[in-house]
Each structure stands twice: as structure tokens, then as C-alpha cells.
């Protein structure tokens, strides 16, 4: 299968609306049925970083998407959603100009996902997550539009649409705790909450020590796709990197058997801008810290397995457990394996 990624030049901010319309049209358009409920997830990772920094999504981009939807669909409810980061999502909405969208459009509502009620979901085929706390709002939508920025990331080398879904988990402490498992966890989140329309605003990117710090890098492009993985793979090339070197992208492309040869850029040129990054030794330290934290989590989980085994042997008897009278030996080992090597995208309820 061939996946299309539209590359559209944006020479001036005033061209944003036309670029959004052209880019969406190039990938086949986006026309939800009447009365659809649509969530737009921008990247508002920092309330203190204005769009010109390259760290946060320009409100003009989201407004252009709203106009496109309203021009191509009838009576749709549009939700702009984000979760807390360095400050509350509600404060980010206010400081970055998103409150004006809610005032200007009758069918637009801002939703702070961290203040939303959540539902604990058990993925049917989770690679790493055994549970996820998903905001109720995201379980009631018909379509999801993910709008990311082209940015470096000190842990992952880059961040785009695939990583933007991380903000769909409402709890910031949970997201921080799961950073060592980001590649696998992002795969699970994107499997459950896969965007129907993916957009990367690269009018101004962020190089250096992203995703919040760093330096703005003018690029003058926007990317559009119906596939969140393909758009990030093309974004990596524009950044001057290989998808194979980006941990979360490399994991996902292997799982989905995706190669650059499967992607067809359309519209404009995929040029390399060679974004600056942190030094190799600094990146190694970040990755090593994640590995150590990962094994620390596994050791803690192993401790819980020993505690559960002690309780089970005390209440049921060691002979019954070892003899497979309660569970078969293979099932017992599988349960123990999952307890050690899988994690919850939720606040811990034990320990």
C-alpha cells in the first residue's frame, strides 16, 4: 500500500489558510458526515512558549482547519483538546490565543483533558500498556485531527504527530513515569486513538534541545497525511534525520512493516534542513537514563510478583501453586511475565 504525504510551501503566515486547504485537498479531502463530533489535538506543550518559538501550534493553523471542516461538513461539533503540561491546558488555551476560537465559532469548544473524567481502558492487543486512562471526551468523538510541530526531542531525536498523541493521556505524572517505555506506549496509544487527519506545521520548526527549549528554525512548509506514521517519517527526512534513528518511529515502522519506499510525497519538495541537535554524548546520557529507569520499573514490578506469590502460597498453599492446580504452569509464568514487563498508563493502585 502507498501512503501519501502532501508537502505544501508556506512562504508567509498569511498563506496558512490556503496551505491548509490545499494540503488537505491533496490527500483526498476531509468531509465528515453531518453532525459529526471532531476533536482537534494541537501541540500546546508549554503555555510559556509562543508559536514563533516553534514549540507550540499556531492558532491560525487550527482556525484554518476549523474553517475547512465548516466549509465541507454540516453541523459538526469541533472540540480543541489538550492536556496539562508545564501549566494547565486551560492556561495554555488562554495565553496562546485559543480562547478566541471558542468565542468566534458557535460549534467550537475547548476541552482540558486533564480536567475531564476518564475511563480505564484495557487494550485488546497492547504491546506494553495493560491499562490506559482515556478522557471521556476522546471516547465520544467520531474523528480525531492531530496537529503537531516539527521539533527536535532530547529523548527521541524528534517529535511529530505520532508523539503528539501522548497528550491524549490526561495525567502528566503518568506520562512522565512512562517515558522509558515511550516507543511501545506510543504504539498502543496510536492504535487506540489513531488520527483520521494528521498535520505538521513546519512554518517554523524547533531545533536543539526540544521539545520545549531550543531555537526556532524557519522551514516554510506544512505536511498533511491520513497516516500519522508516514507523515512523521517524511518529517524526519525534512529535519535531516532518518526514521531508523528515531526510537519511537523505528519501533512503529518495524511493527507495521513500513518503509520510506511505501510513502509517496506529493505537492512539494522533501528538502533536508539539517536541524541542529544536542551532542552525541548528551543524547547517550538521556537514552541511558531511560534504560536505567526502565529496568528500575521492571525490578519494582518483580518485587510485586514476589509479594503476590507469597500471598498466594500462604492462602492457597505452595503445593497447589507449583503443581498447577490453580493455574497451569505456563499460564502462571505468562501472568508473572506480564506483571513484570507490562505497565499501566494510569495512577498506581497498589504497592
pLDDT at 335: 75
pLDDT beyond 50 at 36: yes
pLDDT at 87: 84
DSSP 264: E
Q: Is 202 helix (H, G, I), strand (E, B) or coil?
A: strand
pTM here is: 0.92
Angle at the Cα of 185 (from 154 to 210), degrees rounded to 5?
15
pLDDT beyond 60 at 330: yes
Local confidence band at 307 (pLDDT 50, 70, 90 cut-offs): confident
* Percent with pLDDT over 90 in the chain: 79
Q: Are 94 and 106 in contact (CB under 8 A)?
A: no
Q: Are 18 and 56 in contact (CB under 8 A)?
A: no
Look up the CATH architecture of domain 3-278: 3-Layer(aba) Sandwich (3.40)
In a 10 Å sphere around its CB, with 0-12 CB exposed, 13-18 middle and 19+ buried, how is residue 123 labelled?
middle
Q: Are 233 and 262 in contact (CB under 8 A)?
A: no
* Helices and strands (H, E) in the chain, number of each type: 12, 11
Residue-range domain boundaries for the chain = 3-278, 283-345
Give residues with Cβ within 8 angstroms of 81, minimum separation 6.
39, 40, 41, 111, 113, 135, 137, 138, 168
Averaged pLDDT, 252-264? 94
pLDDT at 123: 87
pLDDT at 124: 82
| pLDDT tens for each residue of 215-227 | 999 999 999 999 9
Local confidence band at 326 (pLDDT 50, 70, 90 cut-offs): low
Averaged pLDDT, 5-11? 97
Local confidence band at 10 (pLDDT 50, 70, 90 cut-offs): very high
What is the C-alpha separation between 290 and 166, in angstroms, rounded? 17
Q: Residue 149: beta bridge partners?
A: 201
pLDDT at 318: 56
| pLDDT tens for each residue of 69-104 | 999 999 999 999 999 988 899 999 999 999 999 999
Residue in this structure with the C-alpha cell 490506559, named with its chain if needed:
132
Local confidence band at 338 (pLDDT 50, 70, 90 cut-offs): confident
Local confidence band at 315 (pLDDT 50, 70, 90 cut-offs): low
Averaged pLDDT, 279-284? 97
What is the C-alpha separation between 234 and 218, in angstroms, rounded? 17
Residue in this structure with the C-alpha cell 490565543, named with its chain if needed:
97
pLDDT at 322: 54
pLDDT beyond 70 at 185: yes
Averaged pLDDT, 202-213? 96
pLDDT at 328: 67
Averaged pLDDT, 247-266? 95
Q: Which helix (H) or strand (E) holds 131?
A: strand 129-135
What is the C-alpha separation between 159 and 45, in angstroms, rounded? 12
pLDDT beyond 60 at 350: no
Local confidence band at 351 (pLDDT 50, 70, 90 cut-offs): very low
Amino acid at each position: 500500500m502507498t501512503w501519501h504525504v502532501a508537502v505544501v510551501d508556506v512562504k508567509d503566515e498569511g498563506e496558512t489558510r490556503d496551505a491548509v486547504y490545499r494540503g488537505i485537498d491533496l490527500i483526498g479531502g476531509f468531509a465528515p458526515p453531518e453532525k459529526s463530533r471532531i476533536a482537534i489535538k494541537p501541540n500546546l506543550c508549554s503555555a510559556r512558549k509562543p508559536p514563533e518559538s516553534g514549540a507550540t501550534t499556531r492558532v491560525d493553523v487550527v482556525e484554518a482547519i476549523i474553517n475547512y471542516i465548516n466549509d465541507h461538513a454540516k453541523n459538526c461539533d469541533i472540540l480543541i483538546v489538550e492536556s496539562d503540561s508545564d501549566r494547565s491546558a486551560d492556561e495554555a488555551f488562554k495565553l496562546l490565543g485559543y480562547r478566541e476560537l471558542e468565542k468566534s465559532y458557535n460549534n467550537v469548544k475547548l476541552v482540558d483533558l486533564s480536567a475531564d473524567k476518564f475511563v480505564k481502558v484495557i487494550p485488546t492487543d497492547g504491546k506494553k500498556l495493560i491499562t490506559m486512562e482515556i478522557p471521556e471526551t476522546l471516547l465520544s468523538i467520531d474523528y480525531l485531527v492531530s496537529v503537531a510541530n516539527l521539533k527536535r526531542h532530547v529523548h527521541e531525536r524528534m517529535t511529530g504527530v505520532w508523539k503528539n498523541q501522548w497528550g491524549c493521556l490526561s495525567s502528566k505524572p503518568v506520562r512522565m513515569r512512562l517515558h522509558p517505555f515511550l516507543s511501545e506506549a506510543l504504539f498502543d496509544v496510536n492504535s487506540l486513538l489513531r488520527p483520521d487527519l494528521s498535520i505538521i506545521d513546519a512554518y517554523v520548526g524547533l531545533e536543539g534541545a526540544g521539545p520545549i527549549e531550543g531555537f526556532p528554525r524557519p522551514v516554510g512548509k506544512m505536511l498533511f497525511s491520513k497516516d500519522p506514521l508516514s507523515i512523521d517519517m517524511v518529517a524526519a527526512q525534512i529535519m535531516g534525520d532518518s526514521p531508523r534513528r528515531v526510537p519511537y518511529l523505528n519501533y512503529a515502522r518495524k511493527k507495521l512493516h513500513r518503509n520510506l519506499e511505501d510513502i509517496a510525497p506529493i505537492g512539494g519538495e522533501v528538502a533536508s534542513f539539517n536541524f541542529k541537535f544536542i551532542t552525541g554524548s548528551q543524547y547517550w546520557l538521556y537514552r541511558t537514563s531511560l534504560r536505567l529507569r526502565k529496568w528500575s520499573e521492571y525490578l519494582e514490578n518483580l518485587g510485586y510478583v514476589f509479594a503476590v506469590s507469597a500471598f498466594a502460597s500462604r492462602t492457597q498453599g505452595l503445593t497447589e501453586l507449583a503443581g498447577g492446580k490453580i493455574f497451569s504452569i505456563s499460564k502462571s509464568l505468562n501472568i508473572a511475565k506480564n506483571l513484570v514487563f507490562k505497565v499501566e498508563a494510569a495512577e498506581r493502585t497498589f504497592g
